[in-house]
Chain A
Amino acid sequence: MMIDLGIIAAKAFLVLFMVLNLAGVLGWIERKGSALIQDRIGANRASIFGFAGMGLINTLIADPIKFLTKEDFIPPRGDRFLHTLAPCLALFPALVTFAVIPFGDVLTIAGREIALQVANLNIGILYIFAMASLSVYGIVIGAWASNNKFSLLGGVRGAAQMVSYEIAMGLSVLGVIMIFGTLELQEIVRAQGGLLQDRLPPWMAFLKSSIGWLPAWGIFLQPVAFLLFFTAAVAETKRIPFDLPEGEAELVAGYHVEYSGAKFLMFFTGEFAEIVTAGALVTTLFFGGWQVPYLMRDGFHLPWGDTLLLPHLAVVLLQVGAFAVKVVFFCWVQILLRWSLPRFRYDQVMRLGWKMLLPVALVNVIVTAVWIVLGERVSLRP
């Protein structure tokens, strides 16, 4: 009993530790990455005994110390309590979402099976959407409590944008749920373990022989859903090209214009944690989560028949490593997007959400349903 509790606590700690650290490192990647893209040098000032570590010292040590020692300013006519509550509400959903994301298969140590996932809910995807829907509060309440017109406008924009894109996001995932037939994230990842040829109906002989060797990842089964989901996820993180809630040309800094010091740091960390969450979700739903192509429980089984057996621990480490690599890759893609695209106009954001993503997502659901029914009907024929 005590050991079980200890394992759960260790897993929760590990996940939070990894997410928060990755969020911190992403701050550095964002600075150096943007410098790389814009042909600048980027952060390189702070150093310890002459060692600047490519600006890593700046981001990981100097920045937090500076943030924590700055004055915590609360607007005199603002709402003290809600002004303090809002950054917590912004950080909380991004961190707790990770509880249901599986970062590996089952690890067996001394006969004890440890599922590499903090909480295995049979409604994992719904839990994620519930938490995502709560993330609006940090912005709305923070914007209102600041008693600033720019903040308020940013908050109103943010709320409208996030509510709109949540719908497209939910509908795009519906196709994935239909294909894999479960709401459990661990089950979805397991279902992506096989080859594509086992997932295609028998009458698709041509596709089976040409691309059947690919792993049965969500991206190959639901490519449209991937594009929709990724777009909506970037919109939910409120970054360029969707950063209208904080568009500095019009709104100074939008909903967090009246935030300083540690509270601003919390908003900032929340944003990076959201990037990590979005990356992890894309990985889990569309890129096989912790699956390594052709890696089974006992080692590699290549499609042309070769096998390479590996010990259990090596397999688990490979899987966790694969998950980490994929998540970091999608975080990098999001940072790349932020520094290569211009900002939308607000009416364009709304039009994209309601008139493009939503109808396409609905059509995707219908097409997926027809595909599933056709596959079943035709394969049932003797």
Chain B
Amino acid sequence: MTLFIILAVLTVVSSLLVIFQRNVVHSAVALVAALFFIAVLFLTLDAPMIAILQVLVYAGAIMVLFLFVIMLLNPAALEPRKIAWWTLGSAAALLLVFLLMPRLLSTVAPRQAAPAGPGFGSPELLGQTLFGSFVLPFEIASVLLLVAIIGAVVLAKRKE
């Protein structure tokens, strides 16, 4: 429980830093930290596979590309705050809190965590589930990615 609280606080703080940092690179680094702490949270939930994939895919691949693009484009380091966006975003966030609050308040934390099933989170079980019961969504996702790759190649090859 103590571990969870520490991790949760770290995750929330780094997520807040993503929003409140005015330097883009700082935001990106804070986002990496947030993703990393979420991976550790998965680790405490007996799901090492998901934890590793979280680091591998999000922290290791997607965020590297984010940083790469930020460095290549080098946007103005300090962007001035736009009041309109600021108010709109705050209003949307408040609305979300307002909608979620009743549900959150009515949820009672379980006294005893349910034990994970045998082989839970193991690569074997994940593979069987992914290529057995969920093979169609899996293939659709890969076709989607293929389309995205072809699109990127077409855009890159286009002569002006």
The reply to whether the CB of B68 lies closer than 8 angstroms to some CB of chain A is yes
The reply to whether the CB of B72 lies closer than 8 angstroms to some CB of chain A is yes
Among B23, B59, B123, the residue within 8 A (CB) of A122 is B123
Q: Are B29 and A141 closer than 8 Å at their CB atoms?
A: yes
Q: Are A140 and B67 closer than 8 Å at their CB atoms?
A: yes
Q: Are B55 and A134 closer than 8 Å at their CB atoms?
A: yes
Known A123-B48, A159-B64; contact A134-B59, beta-carbon cutoff 8 A: yes
- Scoring A121, A141, A152 by chain B CB atoms within 10 A of each residue's CB, the highest score goes to A141
Q: Are A136 and B64 closer than 8 Å at their CB atoms?
A: yes
Q: Give the number of residue pairs across the A-B interface with Cβ within 8 Å.
A: 69
The reply to whether the CB of A133 lies closer than 8 angstroms to some CB of chain B is yes
Binds B, one of A17-25, A124-132, A191-199, A284-292: A124-132
Residue of B nearest to A177 (CB): B123
Residues of B within 8 A of A129 (CB): 56, 60
| Smallest beta-carbon distance B132→chain A, Å | 18
- Main secondary structure, interface of A, reads helix
What 1/0 flags go to A117-154 for Cβ under 8 Å of B?
Answer: 00001110011011111101100110110000000100
Residues of B within 8 A of A134 (CB): 55, 59-60
Q: Are B29 and A183 closer than 8 Å at their CB atoms?
A: no
| Smallest beta-carbon distance B45→chain A, Å | 15
Q: Are B52 and A127 closer than 8 Å at their CB atoms?
A: yes
| Smallest beta-carbon distance A186→chain B, Å | 15
Q: Are B56 and A152 closer than 8 Å at their CB atoms?
A: no
The reply to whether the CB of B148 lies closer than 8 angstroms to some CB of chain A is no
Binding site for B on A (CB under 8 A): 79, 82, 85, 121-123, 126-127, 129-134, 136-137, 140-141, 143-144, 152, 155-156, 159-160, 163, 183
Instruction: List 5 additional contacts besides A79-B23, A82-B29, A130-B59; criterion CB under 8 Å.
Output: A133-B64, A134-B55, A140-B67, A155-B71, A159-B64
- For the complex of A and B, 8 pairs with smallest distance between CB atoms: A133-B60, A130-B55, A130-B56, A126-B52, A130-B52, A159-B68, A136-B64, A140-B67
